[in-house]
């Protein structure tokens, strides 16, 4: 079934008389929806999509590769539109010049979407397997086995000079994937068009300009033992449509108790935190989203004797030791629930920690409190919505 947001978008594109068709739908919840748009239609396509909550990914905000992203809280689904104005494969090294317009001219209706003619769809899928996937994913097999007619078409015509079509068609219908993939390298060499020096220089020059706009978000997950931080971190990383990394920032777990060892741990702790933060910052500069499991704000938890006065000075310094994350999420869980999940602290300790985190969420402008006692899917969806708001605000600012 077509997602309601996509159905609304498709209808709006048709009302604006924008030529488009659906090349592929994703096989997983965070996959790309690949579309082909008419040459010159990318700006209008982007405008229509942005009116429906999508935001362009910086660096991919215009033809020939336009990427638009949106999170839909109602369905708890990321929607990623990969909009091309040319038919290109193998990381854009193979382009079927002049074929896109002909494929759009032969499109047919399938539900709310326009799709390629069956003959074109078959050969486009063959190219996808040979040049992009270099394999035949299981969900492609039924369509390939269905084969194609012998009526030709613009895609088949573009391939004919480089490869014999009939053996490929027969291999697909028979499900002989080894035979189907056999001419992949020969076809790639025949169709490949080297990127021009000017194009490569342009990409290299643009890369530094994207660092500020594409720097990944940092999200710190806070809460007492049993709040669900580790479970939430794993679920977020599994569903985010962008590359992500998990960095553990617990202050105390690796420390050794007692005397001189404790003093050595106190000296090493800030250095350890900075090294981890530096590693996370490097990942962010490469566009990765970083999920921090705990953060230096844990230093605000109540200290225990002895040397309370010295400890408070030290802990206050630790709290300010690192720059603040883009988003701090406080998972608010009643002590009884946290204790039932993880019996590492007493109910009294958990109650005191909950009070600290609640006050922290109220005081920090970049912090949000989320009810962590609910089912994990509901918690993750609410946190994902918070992440999306931060992300879309940054990208919209980059567009301006």
* 54 vs 91: CA distance, rounded Å: 24
pLDDT-derived band at 93 (thresholds 50, 70, 90) equals: confident
Domain around 109: 4-191
Q: How far is CA 34 from CA 7, 82, 146, in A?
A: 15, 5, 21
Question: 3-class DSSP state for residue 97?
Answer: coil
Do 160 and 289 fall within a single domain? Answer: no
Number of structural domains found in the chain: 2
pLDDT (tens digit, 9 = 90+) per residue, 356-396? 999 999 999 999 999 999 999 999 999 999 999 999 998 88
Question: What's the count of helices (H) and strands (E) in the chain, helices before strands?
Answer: 16, 14
Residue 203 lies in a domain: no
Among residues 31, 40, 17, the alpha carbon closest in space to that of 86 is found at 40
Ranges of beta strands (E only) in 188-251 are 218-222, 244-248
Instruction: Tell me, yes or no, whether 137 and 237 share the same domain.
Output: no
Q: Which of 257-266, 304-313, 315-324, 340-349 is the least confident region?
A: 257-266
| Axis-axis angle for helices 197-214, 376-399 (nearest 10) | 120
**Assigned domain for 28 exists:** yes
CATH of the domain at 142: 3.30.460
| Pairwise pLDDT comparison (313 vs 20), residue with the higher score | 20
Does residue 209 carry a pLDDT above 70?
no
- Is 268 found in the same domain as 368? yes
Cα 18 to the chain's mean position, in Å? Answer: 27
Same domain (yes/no): 250, 382? yes
Distance CA 296, CA 302 (A): 14
Task: Please say which residue of 191, 225, 247 terminates a domain.
Answer: 191
The domain boundary, picked from 140, 159, 191, lies at 191
What is the CATH classification number for the domain harbouring 256?
3.40.50.300
Residue 198 domain-assigned? Answer: no
Of 100, 95, 148, the C-alpha closest to 121 is 148
**Taking residues 60-83, what's their average pLDDT?**
92
pTM for this one?
Answer: 0.86
| 173 and 217 part of one domain | no
Confidence of residue 400 (pLDDT cuts 50, 70, 90): very low
Say if 111 falls within a structural domain: yes
| 207-230 burial code (b ≥16 CB/10 A, e <16) | eeeeeebbbbbbbbbbbbbbbbbe
């Amino acid at each position: 079934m077509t997602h309601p947001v996509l159905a609304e978008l498709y209808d709006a594109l048709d009302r604006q008389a924008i030529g488009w068709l659906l090349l592929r739908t994703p096989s997983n919840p965070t996959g790309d929806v690949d579309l082909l748009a008419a040459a010159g239609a990318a700006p209008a396509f982007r405008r229509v999509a942005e009116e429906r909550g999508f935001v362009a990914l910086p660096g991919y905000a215009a033809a020939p590769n336009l990427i638009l992203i949106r999170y839909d809280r109602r369905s708890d689904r990321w929607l990623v539109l990969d909009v091309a104005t040319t038919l290109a494969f193998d990381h854009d090294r193979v382009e079927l010049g002049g074929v896109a317009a002909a494929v759009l001219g032969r499109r047919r209706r399938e539900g709310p979407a326009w799709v390629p003619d069956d003959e074109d769809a078959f050969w486009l899928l063959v190219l996808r397997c040979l040049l992009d996937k270099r394999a035949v994913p299981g969900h492609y097999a039924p369509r390939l086995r269905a084969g194609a007619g012998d009526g030709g078409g613009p895609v088949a015509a573009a391939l004919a000079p480089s490869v014999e079509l009939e053996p490929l068609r027969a291999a697909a219908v028979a499900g002989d994937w080894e035979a189907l993939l056999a001419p992949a390298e020969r076809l790639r060499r025949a169709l490949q068009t080297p990127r021009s020096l000017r194009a490569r220089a342009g990409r290299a020059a643009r890369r530094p300009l994207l660092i500020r706009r594409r720097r990944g978000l940092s999200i710190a997950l806070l809460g007492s033992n049993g709040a669900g931080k580790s479970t939430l971190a794993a679920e977020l990383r599994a569903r985010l449509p962008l590359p992500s990394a998990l960095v553990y920032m617990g202050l105390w777990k690796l420390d050794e108790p007692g005397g001189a060892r404790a003093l050595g741990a106190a000296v090493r702790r800030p250095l350890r935190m900075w090294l981890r933060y530096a590693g996370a910052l490097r990942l962010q500069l490469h566009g990765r989203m970083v999920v921090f499991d705990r953060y230096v704000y844990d230093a605000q938890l109540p200290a225990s004797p002895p040397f309370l006065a010295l400890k408070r000075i030290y802990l206050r310094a630790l709290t300010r030791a690192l720059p603040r994350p883009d988003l701090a999420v406080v998972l608010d869980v009643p002590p009884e629930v946290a204790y039932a999940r993880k019996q590492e602290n007493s109910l009294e300790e958990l109650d005191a920690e909950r009070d600290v985190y609640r006050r922290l969420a109220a005081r920090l402008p970049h912090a949000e409190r989320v009810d962590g006692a609910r089912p994990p899917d509901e918690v993750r969806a609410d946190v994902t919505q918070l992440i999306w708001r931060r992300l879309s605000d940054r990208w919209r600012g980059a567009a301006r």
